[in-house]
Amino acid sequence: MSHFFERKKEELGIALNKVQQQAVLETEGPLLLLACPGSGKTTTMIMRIGYLIEEKNISPKRIKAITFSRASAADMRTRFERFFPHLPSVEFSTIHSLAFMITRAYLEKNGMNYELIEGKGSHQFNKQSLLKRLYKDVLKDDSTDDELATISTFISGLKNKLIPVDDWETVEQPFKDAGLIAKKYEQHKTKQAHFIYVDFDDMLVLAEKALRVDDELADAFRGRFDYLLTDESQDTSLVQHMIVEHLVAYHGNLCVVADDDQSIYTWRGADPTYLLEFKKVYPDAKILKMEQNYRSSKQIVETAEKFIQRNRDRYPKKMFTKNKQAHPIQLKRVRDPKEQLDYVIYELLSEENLKDVAVLFRNNASSTLYVSELHRRGIPFYMKDADDKFFSHWIIEDILNFMRLSFNTERKDIFAKIVLKMNLFVSRNMVTKFQNANTSGNVFDAFIQTVPLKSRQVKKLQDYKKGYEVIPEMRPMRVIQLIRQDLGYEAALKSRAEKFGYRFDHLNEILDTLENIAMPLRTMIEFAERLKELEEAVKNAKFNPSENAVTLSTFHSAKGLEFERVFMIDLQKGMIPSEEDEQDVRTLEEARRLFYVGMTRAKKRLELLSYREDDGKKKEDSRFLNEVRGILNPAQAAEEHKKRVAPKQVKRKGVQVNPKGIQNRNELSVGLEILHRVFGKGKILSIGGKVKIQFENEQKEFDTATILQFGFIEKV
């Protein structure tokens, strides 16, 4: 038996420790592997699968490994192929794809047709559009994307917790009548006799039901797999646990791998407490703990360990490591978000192996600015949960419409789209009246003539008209500022946010990001083009990233991954924990776990970044950052707390300037064959503010100044 471990040690250089070996060998019956980050949970799970196949001659088809997301399924497949290159592949799939298989069989058997209303296969009529319609029916107003996201998460939570539809209106509501909307949503989906609309969560709910009520079907699926394994089970929801329970009902061969300290999805129905009850569900279960971290350097492990100890609601564990000390953890407080961005970009420019680096953030909104700058600098990046929705956010459409009007101030159609967002307190009826009226000329004059207005409103409209006269000569960043302030957009946004109970901060952040994108640009046309270009770049970063790309990720999506070097950015009060997180110990502890997940991604270098001000407003550090500061250096933290001194300027370590690289603009010429330090051989297609280069398989554009400054391209 131990031959297996000897062999793996020789082949892979990984010698499993005692507990890990035990977890591999205990193949029969239920096993809960409760372990710390980086302790080899995923590694052990993969070894166990290999062991089943190599040593116990189990057919790979009889083994089912369930992962948290499609990305982690892919990650696990890659690791499995690396560990066992000669073995046929095992099915690593998400619980959703497994559940969908069961749901399909169940619906077919019962003569039901179905249509998916979520995800890629869905049509124009989908979850989003249905919720939008029902929201309007119930609340008599249009919903925003944020509100739709909120209700969508709310419904997911209800279904994942298996809360009966009858109770949906009485559980805690995210906003008024959310439960009613949810209920109507469910009724609409199921109102036809032999037809049902299915969203992602229904796949789970229906599969669970099928396995519970239909013995014949349940037996068929039970018969398919002799061994089940689930990774990241702290983020498994009740309905998902139930599905697994049904599937292993006869043989009980279940290996559950989890770390309750990394449970970060309770907000959408994950149920880590189920693990505490594991023995109740599976009385003969073995529970193993793994506490040795193999991933991170000594200081990272020790600091993260002390940090998570502050949570009350957790299984007791004590993470340790035998790894050596590497770089000290760096806490860097810079002036503002711009300086933070500059610092990260500067450091990335000097990184050889970008694929070993990750930039992690709490909110996807922060990523757009990084995307913009990375793209401009020609630094390849990967973003699996890229926020391409940013570019279709209604705020962006608003801003572009404000701008469009400046090209022709007689466009009634455009004016009609934005006049309600100018803080004028005009009604929809007034706008319709104006649209139908037979007036022409400057829209501000025409509106004043057509619609009965108070003198205050007339005055504002006259001011706006004057504002619009100067827009054509302005730089786009100034235009956005003018729209926000002088044209009343921000004030309108604020009252809308108050009315509907969503976060004004979030909306304002989007505007800040837009200003930042606009900063280096000269015209509004350039700005609009730039947004299109970035949208394209984000799509590429998601579906078609370069091989050696830096990873941009939310803390959430970084779960399970590891990198040599990790930057955690925007560690501000209000960001992590968010204001909502601070309301309650439960959510505060979940935010702390999220921070912990971020820290424990780093192998050697961990950098925690924050800033002192944003847009002239003072900003405070995240309390978690202060906690880490206190752990690292109690005396200094106390001192800092007292004085709140400004930190030293960031000292810049020079990016390696390539002495052989072209540093003089005159040496660039169209048609010149060059060698780029990341992308290899290419030919210059055009030169301007940017250099366009044709590489073997792709065209790329780089900021000319950056390329010359660091000598990124050489002549061949």
Q: Which CB, 42 or 540, lies closer to Mg ion?
A: 42
Alpha helices, DSSP H, located in 26-144: 41-54, 70-83, 95-109, 127-139
Of 482, 486, 441, 439, the C-alpha closest to 461 is 486
- Rule CB under 6 A: say whether 17 interacts with ligand ATP: yes
User: Considering just the CA atoms, what is the radius of gyration of the chain in Å?
Assistant: 28
**Smallest distance from ligand ATP to CB 384, Å:** 16
**Can you list the positions of beta strands (E) in 168-285?**
195-198, 227-230, 254-258
- Rule CB under 6 A: say whether 50 interacts with ligand ATP: no
With beta carbons less than 8 A apart as the criterion, state whether 457 and 425 touch. yes
- Rule CB under 6 A: say whether 604 interacts with ligand ATP: no
- Rule CB under 5 A: say whether 42 interacts with Mg ion: yes
Q: Binding ligand ATP by CB under 6 A: which of 4, 14, 133, 627? A: 14
Strand order of the sheet with strand 286-290?
A: 91-94, 63-67, 227-230, 254-258, 31-35, 286-290
- Rule CB under 5 A: say whether 560 interacts with Mg ion: yes
- Rule CB under 6 A: say whether 163 interacts with ligand ATP: no
Q: Which CB, 75 or 445, lies closer to ligand ATP?
A: 75
End-to-end CA distance of the chain: 56
Q: Which CB, 232 or 302, lies closer to Mg ion?
A: 232
- Partner in contact with 67, chosen from ligand ATP, Mg ion, none, beta carbon below 5 to 8 Å by kind: none
Of 219, 281, 289, the C-alpha closest to 245 is 281
Locate tokens 């471990």: which residue?
A: 5
- Rule CB under 6 A: say whether 42 interacts with ligand ATP: yes
Of 101, 106, 156, the C-alpha closest to 131 is 156
Distance CA 477, CA 481 (A): 6
**From the CB of residue 160, how many other CB atoms can be counted at a distance below 10 Å?**
22
# of chain residues touching ligand ATP (CB under 6 A)? 19
Q: Binding ligand ATP by CB under 6 A: which of 22, 26, 43, 129? A: 43
**Smallest distance from ligand ATP to CB 301, Å:** 11
Q: Which CB, 62 or 79, lies closer to ligand ATP?
A: 79
Q: Which CB, 85 or 616, lies closer to ligand ATP?
A: 85
With beta carbons less than 8 A apart as the criterion, state whether 553 and 384 touch. yes
The one segment of 31-39, 455-463, 612-620, 708-716 that binds ligand ATP by CB under 6 A: 31-39
**Smallest distance from Mg ion to CB 560, Å:** 4
- Partner in contact with 39, chosen from ligand ATP, Mg ion, none, beta carbon below 5 to 8 Å by kind: ligand ATP
**Smallest distance from ligand ATP to CB 39, Å:** 4
Q: Which CB, 38 or 488, lies closer to ligand ATP?
A: 38
Of 382, 377, 384, 369, the C-alpha closest to 348 is 377
- Rule CB under 6 A: say whether 16 interacts with ligand ATP: yes
Going by C-beta distance under 8 Å and a sequence separation of 6 or more, which residues neighbour residue 482?
467, 471, 474
**Strand, helix or coil for residue 197:** strand
- Rule CB under 6 A: say whether 25 interacts with ligand ATP: no
With beta carbons less than 8 A apart as the criterion, state whether 54 and 25 touch. no
Going by C-beta distance under 8 Å and a sequence separation of 6 or more, which residues neighbour residue 444?
409, 461, 462, 464, 465, 468
**Smallest distance from Mg ion to CB 314, Å:** 18
* Amino acid type, 567: F
Residue 169: is it exposed, middle or buried by C-beta count within 10 angstroms (0-12/13-18/19+)? Answer: middle
Distance CA 612, CA 505 (A): 17
With beta carbons less than 8 A apart as the criterion, state whether 449 and 430 touch. no
Residue 11: is it exposed, middle or buried by C-beta count within 10 angstroms (0-12/13-18/19+)? Answer: exposed
- Rule CB under 6 A: say whether 560 interacts with ligand ATP: yes
- Rule CB under 5 A: say whether 40 interacts with Mg ion: no
Near ligand ATP in 282-341, by CB under 6 A:
294-295
- Rule CB under 5 A: say whether 44 interacts with Mg ion: no
- Rule CB under 6 A: say whether 423 interacts with ligand ATP: no
The one segment of 34-42, 98-106, 211-219, 638-646 that binds ligand ATP by CB under 6 A: 34-42
- Rule CB under 5 A: say whether 340 interacts with Mg ion: no
The one segment of 34-42, 114-122, 221-229, 515-523 that binds Mg ion by CB under 5 A: 34-42
The one segment of 329-337, 377-385, 538-546, 558-566 that binds Mg ion by CB under 5 A: 558-566
The one segment of 33-41, 395-403, 414-422, 609-617 that binds ligand ATP by CB under 6 A: 33-41
- Rule CB under 6 A: say whether 38 interacts with ligand ATP: yes
Distance of CA 125 to the CA centre of its chain: 25
Distance CA 646, CA 186 (A): 55
Q: Which CB, 68 or 343, lies closer to ligand ATP?
A: 68
* Amino acid type, 551: T
Q: Binding ligand ATP by CB under 6 A: which of 21, 27, 39, 457? A: 39
Q: What are phi and psi of 666, to 5 degrees?
A: -65, -20
Near Mg ion in 344-383, by CB under 5 A:
none
# of chain residues touching Mg ion (CB under 5 A)? 3
Residues at the interface with Mg ion (CB under 5 A): 41-42, 560
Residues at the interface with ligand ATP (CB under 6 A): 14-17, 20, 35, 37-43, 259, 262, 294-295, 560, 562
